[in-house]
Each structure stands twice: as C-alpha cells, then as structure tokens.
Amino acid sequence: MIDADDLISLVRNYNPRTDEALIRKAYDYGKRMHEGQYRRSGEPYFSHPVAVAAILTEMRLDDATIVTALLHDTIEDTGANYDEVAKLFGDEIAELVDGVTKLTNLQLSSTEARQAENFRKLLMAMSKDLRVILVKLADRLHNMRTIRAMKPEKQVQKARETMDIYAPLAGRMGMQWMREELEDLAFRVLNPEARNSIIRRFVSLQRETGDIVHQITSDIRAELEKNGIEAEVFGRAKKPYSIWRKMQEKKQGFSRLSDIYGFRIITQTEQDCYRALGAVHHRWRAVPGRFKDYISQPKSNGYRSIHTTVSGRDGKRVEIQIRTRQMHEVAEAGVAAHWSYRDGVRAENPFAVDPARWLAGLTERFGNAEDHGEFLEHVRLEMYSDQVFCFTPKGDVVKLPRGATPIDFAYAIHTRIGNSCVGAKVDGVRVPLWTRLKNGQSVEIVTAEGQTPPATWLDIVATGKAKSAIRRSLREADRSRYMRLGRELARVAFEHIGKKATDKALATAADTMGLESADELLARIGSAEISARAVVEKLYPELVGTEAEEEIEASRAIIGVPDGQTVERASCCQPLPGERIVGITYRGRGAVMHAIDCPVLAEFEDQPDRWLDLHWHSGRHKAEYAVTLDITISNAYGVLGRICTLIGEQKANISDLHFIDRKPDFYRILIDVEVRDIEHLHAVVTAIDADSDVASIERHRNLEAAQAGGAGEGAGGVQTPSKAVLHREPF
C-alpha cells in the first residue's frame, strides 16, 4: 500500500498546485475509519481506496475526485456518515462520496425489472456529477485486478457484471484502455481456457516470427521520417479478449486471424495526421472497407482519430490509428478529459467533451423507453454500439450505430418520417430497407401517406429510438382495431338485454370500472381483457343477474318457430346467438335459419310467405354452434398447435379442420369451432388474430353448400370452397 506522501507525489506530477493538506487529511481519516478491516486477501482494507485513488491519478483528475476515492467506502463500511464527511471535507466531496455509495448498493445483475430501475438510478447519479462513475469504474478495476481472493461463484458474478455493464460503460465514455482491461480481467474469470489458449498462440507466434511489433514500428517510423513527418509510433498486440471476440465475430481460428496487432501514430498537428495517412497508404496497401475518419466526424464522447488497416510486413494485416497529442489525451481519458489537470490548472483541451452535453445526448436516447425491457434494450444498444456517419440529401450529418439501416436513419431524422417510410436511396441507388449503412453514405428516404410500420421492422432496425417508435405505432394500430372490435362486442352484449351501447353508457361503465375513458374500455373489450358481458352486468345487474347460471339448450334457443316445426342452422352463413336471424320454410323439411345479411336470402325475396320472423332466446347459450374460420398462418414449427391451444383457452371446441392451400411460407386452413354466441366468436377471433404468426382470419361463408342444398348444419361439415362462389365476410 502506498503511503500519503507517495500518493501526493503522484498528484503533484500533473497538478503542482494540489491541496496537499486536504489529501493528507482524507488519507489519515480513511485509514483511521477502516482500521481493523481487512480484505479477503488479508491486506488492510484501506489499501483498496488508496489503489483506487492511484488509478485516478493516471487520468490526472482533480483533488475532489482523489479525495472521494480515498473516502468512497467510509459511509457504507465504517461509522462515518454524510454529515461528518461534509463537515470535514465540504459538501462537494460529501455529495460525491454519497453518490459512489449509492452506486455500490445497486444490484445491476438482478432481475430485469430491478436491473432496469437500477440502470436508471445509475444514469441519474451520472447526470448529477460524472466523477461519481469515474470513481466507481476505478473501484471496479481494482476489484477485478484482485478478484482471485474472492469465492469462485462471486468471481463469476462480478466478472459477468463487469463484462455486461462496466466495461461497455467505460468504452461509451471513451476510456478505451479501461474497457479493454476490464474485459480482459473478466475474460480471465469467465473463460480461462480460451484466454490461456490465445496467450499460448501468441508465445508460439513470437517464437516463429520474432518481435514483429518492434519490426513494424521501426518500418512505420522509417517511412514517416522519409516524408519529414515528426511523430511518435507505438505498437502492441491486442488484448486476449479483443482477439477472442474477433474470432467469434468472424468465425475464424487464431491462425486465420490477421489483424491482431495495433499501432498508433501520434503527430503534432492535424495536417500531419493526414500526411502520415498518405505516407502509410503509399508504402503499404490499404485494406478496403477498413478506413474510418473520426477526425472529420468525431464520436459523441469526443474521440478523434483516423483508423486504417494495411497489409504490412509479410502480408500481415495491421491496424493503425493516427491522431494528435491532444486527440490522444481525449482518446485515453474519454469524457474524463474534461477534469484532467496539467501544471496545476485544468487542461484546455479543445477536443474534451462537456460531460453535461454528453449525458444529455445519452439520456435523451434512453428516455423514450416505456417499459423495463425496452429500457434495458436501449442501454445495451447504446453501450456496445460503434458509430457510422451518414448524410441527408442536404448534407446534414446523422450519427447512427454500426449495423443501422435506412429505417433507423429515417427515425433519427423524425418519427413521422420513420413511420411513413416506404423506401430508401443510398448514394442515389434504390436499396432494400434492411441494407446496413456504411460511413459516408448519402441516404434519401421515400415516404408515403398512410404508411404505418410493420412488425417485421423490429427485427431490422438497430437503434433504440426506432424500436420504441415502431412499437408505439403498432400499439396504436392495435388499439384502433381493438376499439372497433370492442364496440361491436359491446353492441351485441347490450342488445341481448334490450339496451343500447351509447357513448354515455360506455363512459359510465368505464368510470365504474376505474378506467380512464370509454375508449380504454372498448380497447380492453376488443383485446379480450374485459368481457362485454361483464360490462353489461356492471351497469344492469338486475337484468342479467341469473342468466349466467343457466345455459340454454339448442332445442329451446330459437323463439318464433311454429308448433310442430323444426328449424336448422344454414351452413352457408352459420348464424350464431346474438345475430339477427330469419327462417325460410321448406315443404316437408321444416325451416332453415339464416343470418339477416346472408346473400342466399336474396333468392327468396319474391316468396314472403316462406319467411319466418325468428330471434334468439336471451341468455347464455351452450358452446355447441359450429362456425367456420378461414385462417392463414405461417408455415413454421408449432404455429398450428399454438392456434389450437388459443381456441381451447377461450373455452371453444374444434370439431373439424381442413387444409385448403399449402405454400412454402404459409398454410390456409378452415377450422370448425363450436362457440356459444357471436361475442364468444369474437373473443376466439381476437385471441387468434393477436398471434404474430397469423396473417389473416375471416369468418367463412360457404355459399356452395347452400346451392348444393346442404342448408342444414349436419349436411356436410367443412367443404372445400369453390373460388367462383366463395364469399368471405371479414369481421
């Protein structure tokens, strides 16, 4: 453990005006408060806060942040409290220490709902003062460096949390060195065999090729000197985890992986960056598609650099980053460069990003999430994303994550443009909407009025903003459809008891049931969350009080049938309780019952003496009335079984099923379903229609059966429809 003098010396190296007394006071206070506490390794506990402070000196941070590191565990693990810290060290440091304490208590690897809420708290803490998360990242880095002392199961938990949350967060803040070290330390715990294998391969490669990093570095220096460019050149092999990730992404073995070395050229001026790029490309062949200019198009965290990959010595690919000294400082410190000191004053780096502006941009993209799943999705997309820069036809720059599509581009401009997008042109050429955009491309969006985003877009887009907007549009579209269906169900239910589903009645029912509005009530009825009968019972309990207890038999379901005469349901329209009906009499056969809108009735308009005025008995009927549904479903594993299950869940029975069209991507089937009434049918249809693998569902009208004389229900079950006479009436 380094002592107070050594720590002060580290700070004085970049900040000669440091408040030595304040740091010494914090050192002594923290050491006293942690007296008698030990880490699992057996070291005094205070060695950890001191190590965290030392890590932060590498980023040349201010005195308040260094003191916070020394005290960051005092409120949580000792007898110290907020008021005491504020009294001794001031409100600013007390706020920072309290913020780190709250972050430490967040369980970021808990259940999804809890994790999302804790992510929100993490962002709130960052928004108050970003130095809180800098201390927390340094705290996690030292804990990962010393993780071997922990129990194995705790090591895995912390390593997974580091890989999923803290490493990407460090990268998003521009602290790439910390991200790489955190990832590699976590990789050592999560997959030690793979890491050791890569290290062994490196050792073997060095034996075969010698010190290739030194060789290539010398080659680059010589080329720059030949062109009169003053610059520093550094080279290194990439971290084991970085290589492992490339192997997984490219599905290649180590021997086939070429760009495992990285080199940096640090120049004096921006002009020298481009001169160095020209010298490198003149000497070695550039690899197509591996060039990025983050100087002209910097990242949101202030990162600026030119990236290129060339075929170097012996044809080996090497990645080269070119930037100025100031750009390099920001590339190392990221957003933390805003607080870095040099010679006792805050460094005036023109490329350092204002943390408040960076956080505002980050939280704005997260703020649209409406539930825990969406929020976590937004966070993970943002944490892991690299960026591409595309242009509008007017030349405006649009920043998007890698893998973004023209749909993401459209939503980045405006939600209205995204929702109405029907096509796109990239560099003047029409392309599919699922095309992945590349740096520097010009994108033109084609829109059309009335267009709404389909659900399939969710699998295409890459940005959280686009996903959120598409889901919102889909919900609104479903709501409109459910409201229309709910109004029809309510109308039928109210007519059962001789009432009308007026706007006032629906508004009263909504208020009684604790809902915001009649529209909300109708949407819930249409989506089968609330039954229309329940609404009627809420408003008119005296009219339906006992009806639900007794089911009406089919033999007494029809009112208006003359004595001694039988009546059958027509198989052409399959009328159900709740629908208006009429009867057509046949000599020696009784009557056949049709729905009032059945096209077959047109044949009997000039025979009024054969018509019977019929209506259904009011009440709850048995689920024994077969109705045929025409359904088109995806030809995918388990879809038909799921549809059958949905029907069963609605307490309906399948009496027959017939495939009428088979294609590679879809099936069209007719299913006979036994239901109680029209309301029950609507509930079944709604449940099926909500399934994402159902392309369409309609009530089947089989006029062929009527023309063949099969008017009765028992005259033939499901029949294959003829296209010449098939009439299908959608709900």
Position 445 scores a pLDDT of: 93
Q: How far apart are CA 449 and CA 451, in angstroms?
A: 6
Q: Which two tokens stand for residue 317?
A: 């690919």
pLDDT band at 682, cuts 50/70/90?
confident
Proportion of the chain above pLDDT 70, given as a percent = 82
* Position 324 pLDDT exceeds 90: yes
Banded pLDDT at 509 (limits 50, 70, 90): confident
User: Which range, of 190-194, 220-224, 357-361, 563-567, averages the lowest pLDDT?
Assistant: 357-361
Where is pLDDT greater, at 720 or 81?
81
The contacts of residue 564 (CB under 8 Å, 6+ apart) are none
Task: Give the residue ranges of DSSP H helices in 227-324.
Answer: 240-250, 270-283
**Strand intervals (E) in 509-595:** 551-552, 558-559, 567-569, 581-586, 590-595
Q: Per-residue b/e over 477-505, b at no fewer than 16 CB within 10 Å?
A: eebebbbebbbbbbebbbebbeeebeeeb
- pLDDT grade, residue 189 (50/70/90)? very high
Structure-token match 């129990």, residue found: 151
Q: What distance in Å separates the CA atoms of residue 188 and residue 183, rounded to the nearest whole number?
A: 9
pLDDT of residue 357: 65
DSSP code string of 601-669: GGGGTT-GGGEEEEEEPSSEEPS-EEEEEEEEEES-TTHHHHHHHHHHHTT-EEEEEEEEEE-SSEEEE
The pTM score is 0.54
**Chain segment 586-635, per-residue pLDDT in tens:** 887 788 999 988 888 888 888 888 888 888 887 788 888 999 999 999 88
Look at the chain and count its residues: 731
Task: Tell me which residue of 37, 46, 43, 6 sits closest to 24, measured CA to CA.
Answer: 6
Q: Where are the chain's structural domains?
A: 4-190, 194-346, 473-549, 551-620, 621-729
CATH number of 4-190: 1.10.3210.10
Task: Find all residues with CB under 8 Å of 705, minimum gap 6, and list them.
Answer: 571, 572, 711, 715, 716, 719
- Which is it for the CA torsion 223, 225, 227, 231, positive or negative? positive
Mean pLDDT of 521-527: 81
| CATH superfamily, with its number, for domain 621-729 | ACT domain (3.30.70.260)
Predicted pLDDT at 712: 43
Cα dist from 717 to 132, 418, 713, whole Å: 72, 47, 7
| Alpha carbon separation from 319 to 216, 265, 466 (Å, rounded) | 11, 11, 33
Closest to 312 (Cα-Cα) out of 290, 296, 295: 290
Residue range 223-246, pLDDT digits in tens = 999 999 999 999 888 888 888 887
Instruction: State the chain's mean pLDDT as an integer.
Output: 81
Q: What is the pLDDT of residue 578?
A: 87
Q: Is 216 helix (H, G, I), strand (E, B) or coil?
A: helix
- What pLDDT score does 700 carry? 87
Query: Catalytic residue positions?
Result: 76-77
Residue, of 550 and 297, whose pLDDT is higher: 297
The CATH number of 194-346 is 3.30.460.10
pLDDT tens string 4-57: 999 999 999 888 889 999 999 999 999 999 999 988 888 899 999 999 999 999
